[in-house]
Amino acid sequence: MAFEFTDTNFESTATKGVTVVDFWAEWCGPCKTIGPIVEELADEYKGTVTIGKMDVDNNQNTPLKYGVRAIPTIIFLKNGQLVDKQVGLATKQALKTKIESALAAKV
């Protein structure tokens, strides 16, 4: 199950190891398409990578900080540093490739 990020818990959660954040909204059709993929990845990488979702309607500070202008946007962090970003829909394999790259990144 994907972690539920908020503006309040983001800094304390996203600063260690690899973190993947899916910025989404309830009214966003493409977000509903990619949502189940994010959930699957959260299960597959449980214990290795923190994967979660942030509702942009209820949390506006963090998306602003990362320049999120369109949703879905997925960011990939390592030790709190942005290492990659995916704007729009992507396949599960494409997201796995980005996660593996983030795990290998030297930050």
Residues marked active site are found at 28, 31
Q: What backbone phi and psi angles, to 5 degrees, belong to 80? A: 85, -5
* Residue 46 CB neighbours (<10 A): 11
Cβ(72)–Cβ(27) below 8 Å:
no
